[in-house]
Structure formats: structure tokens, C-alpha cells
Amino acid sequence: MKPREHDLIIIGAGPGGYVAALRAAQLGLDVGCVEKEAALGGTCLRIGCIPSKALLESTELFHKAKEKMAEHGIRLPQVEFDLAVMMRRKERSVDSLTKGLDTLFKRKGVTRYFGHGRIDAADRVVFRNEEGETELKARNILIATGSKPAGLPGVEMDGERIGTSTEALRYSEVPAHLVVIGAGAVGLELGSVWRRLGARVTVLEYLDRILPEMDGALAAEALKTFRKQGLEFRLKSRVQAARVEDGHCVIECDGSEPLSCDRVLVAVGRVPNTEGLGIEELGIKTDPRDRIQVDDRFRTTVAGNFAIGDVIRGPMLAHKAQEEGIACVEHLATGYGHVNYDAIPNVVYTQPEIAAVGKTEEELKEARIDFRRGIFPFRANGRAHTLGQTEGMIKVLAHAETDRILGVHVLGPQAAETIAEASTAIAFGASSEDLARSCHAHPTLSEALREAALAVAGRAIHI
């Protein structure tokens, strides 16, 4: 039987893959997408970003109802939570969105193939499922297989007591004591979820700080806030081993007594998901971190083969993969596509939220770039006071000579939304004066961004 042919075959239907497929179809390409999971959406939608945010929202509402309503003059009877209902709500969100992607594929004319894809030749993909192997042909192949949680030497993950974020998103009961290995976004978000529901949460971090990719000053302030919320931190803790003994977990760290707990969440980062793709046999080169090497048009070292998202260089973020997917297929269809890597935001969805775009102070100092900073605290923002969320600040970093915005860093309420304006400003090459001269509605949280921009030149009004 002659293989089905497409203009483009995409392996992986996560944020990068499915967005690339939909954009390519818009541009008139005949697109096939191979995905091994029954549901579209990848890690982000099925077992990552979306379910974690659903649980963060549910547990934050519980926390507010239990601890904060009295401040607003709202008296509630005893507040309780139903974990099973929370989990079902989370799954409904995921189910609705994955079905929505199925509908979009059909509407846009993207052909979906269910199975594990492997590149068999520069123009051929074979996918395997329960029915056997099927061969497809295409002029172009795009690898968008994402990443998977990284392991840690000496840590024996059993997928139950000791596991990754996948397991931590579906605990059937609240652990009495949860140990989180890694103080990055995943560890802090899921640690916050289970702390709000009553777990004792201990975070172990190898470095002397949390959130190593974020601005140092904001990370230090966030650490103080998380400690007030009841999270325990042991910084400069190198985990040597973790195992299950008699139904409990035992963690061994350098220079301290073994730690006993009910569950362990390993959140030490992610690694490219390229196993079984056939890239080595084909001659697609990778770097020392097993990321696929690509040029500025996402071309691999084999003609007609491309890669985007977590399998290539750069931050492992869903929206970064989406931007790359769009740029890659636009290159194919029109000859032009672009990603501004200086304008890609990064968000931690704790309470308060932490968001950043552009360079940190540490990066600018290392690059010996002269800059000015403007800082504005949320305690001086009217809207933050009405929300009862005055912790945190906004920091704007601008070039000392040109005043062009180089970085914006937010610790505070709805930081994930505020950072969008900063990303747009950087994308358009705005100066801090541009932001400072833009009228913002009052009272809003976004006024704090304007004030921070004013502060770059020492002109903040409300401090």
C-alpha cells in the first residue's frame, strides 16, 4: 500500500506541535500530526500547566475562604474541602481543552495519527500503535516531542511515594509531610497546592537560593513570603539518595540527618524527550545536553527535518514552543518567520505570582551592560490595597544610555497578566519613558508598572 503523503508531518501534539499544525494548515499546507497519547495537548495540557493551575486556583480559593474572608467582613461557617471534587474539576478542564483541540484539527484539516512516531528516513515517518506500523511520507518533518521530568542519581522513583509532578497532580489524599526536591517553578507551585490543603511541605534546594532563573532580589523576597505561608526551605542541600522504607520515604542529604516523609516530589528540571525518534540513526546532531541542534530557521543537520520547543535550546516553556512552531512553519510557507527571545515571559503561579521578561540584573552585570533600575512596591498601589495583596514589587531595568527596556520583573498580584504589557513593550523596543508616559487606568495593578518605569528616572509619584 502506498504511504500517505503530506507537505508536513509533525511528531508531537503538545503546545509547539499542535500550534505549528494549525498555523501550517492556515497557510495551506497538507499537515499530518503524529501523537502517541490518546488526548492532544502534550504534557502542558494533560499533566502539567493546565491541571496544576486548576489545582492552584481551587486551593487558593479554599485558603481565602478559610483565612481571608473575615478581613472583608464575610463570616463563613467551618470551611472544608473535598479533594476528589477538586481533582474532578481539574480533569474536566483538561478534558474540555483536549476535545477542543480535536475539534480544531478537524476544522482546520489537520490529519491526526495515533501512535509513537519514528523518523525512518529524511522524508519518512513510521508510527506504531496496537494495529502495527504505518508509514507516512512528507517533504518536511517537524520534531515537537517536548520534554520529560529529569531524574536524580540515587533517588529511586517508584511512581507512587516518590515521583514527579505527574504523580503530585493526582494524590488521592493530602500527604502529612511532602518533601519537594527542587525550588523551581514546578516544586514551588505544587508545594503551595499541598501546603494550602494542610500538608507539611519541606523544599530541598541544592543552590543557596530559590528560582535560579529569576531576578535575585525578587527571588529573595519571594522566599520570605513562602516561609510566612508555612513552606519550609533547606537551601544548599544536596540530595544523595531517596527511597521507600516500610511505607515511608527516606531522604539522605549532605551534612544532615536522614529526612522521613510520606511523599517525595522530584522537581529538578526536565530533559528533551527524544527517545525512540530515530534521530541518531538519521544523523540529526544533538548538543552535550541532548538537545537537537538547529539553526535560526529551526533546521536540524538533516535537510527537511526541523525541531522546536523543549527538544532544542532555550527555556522549556509552552509559549516559547508555540512561538517557535509558528515561526518554523511560516519559514516553510512564506520564507519568513521570527521569534524575539528577549520578549518571552516566564511566570511562577504561586501566591503572589512571580513573572519576568528580558534580562535580570545579574545577567546585565555579567554582560557589563550599564543600566538603571526603577522599583515600585505594591504596598503603594491602590488596587493592591483593595485586593488585600500588597506584598511584592515591580522592577524595570533600562539601558543607561538609550533608556530601552531590558528587563521587567514582577512579584505580586496577577503578575502573569501584568508581564504581558512589559513583553509587548520590549517587543516594540520601548523605553522606560514610553511606559512612564502611557496613561494607565486608576485604580489598577498595572499602574505599578508605570510607576516603576517612572522610578527609572527618579520620577515615581506615589513613593
Give the H/E segment covering residue 132.
strand 132-143
Q: What does pLDDT average to in each consecutive run of 10 residues of the chain (463 residues)?
A: 91 98 98 97 96 98 95 93 98 97 98 97 95 96 97 94 97 98 98 98 98 96 98 97 95 91 97 96 96 98 98 98 98 96 98 98 98 98 97 98 98 98 98 98 98 98 96
The per-residue DSSP string of 333-376 comes to HHS-----GGG--EEE-SSSEEEEEE--HHHHHHTT--EEEEEE
Rounded to a whole number of angstroms, the CA Rg of the chain reads 24
* 200-204 vs 177-181, strand pairing mode: parallel
| Euclidean distance between CA atoms 270 and 118, whole angstroms | 21
Q: What is the pLDDT of residue 319?
A: 98
Buried b (16+ CB within 10 A) or exposed e, 254-263: eeeeebebbb
pTM of the full predicted structure?
Answer: 0.96
Report whether the peptide linkage leading into residue 352 is cis, meaning its omega lies within 30 degrees of zero.
yes
**Is 442 among the residues known to form the active site?**
yes
Q: What is the pLDDT of residue 255?
A: 78
Q: What is the pLDDT of residue 1?
A: 64
Q: Angle, to 10 degrees, between the axis of helix 49-67 and the axis of helix 83-108?
A: 140
Tell me: the pLDDT tens digits for 271-282? 999 999 999 999
| Euclidean distance between CA atoms 195 and 453, whole angstroms | 35
Tell me: the pLDDT tens digits for 63-110? 999 999 999 999 998 999 999 999 999 999 999 999 999 999 999 999
Alpha helix (H) residue ranges in 109-234: 165-168, 185-196, 216-228
Catalytic hit among 116, 177, 338, 442: 442
Q: What is the pLDDT of residue 3?
A: 85
Which residue type is seen at 260? S
Backbone angles phi, psi at 19, to 5 degrees: -65, -40
Bridge partners (DSSP) of residue 306 are 142, 299
By C-alpha distance, which of 344, 185, 176 is closest to 260?
176
**Residues 285/311, Cβ–Cβ less than 8 Å:** no
**Residues 34/10, Cβ–Cβ less than 8 Å:** yes
Q: What is the pLDDT of residue 2?
A: 79
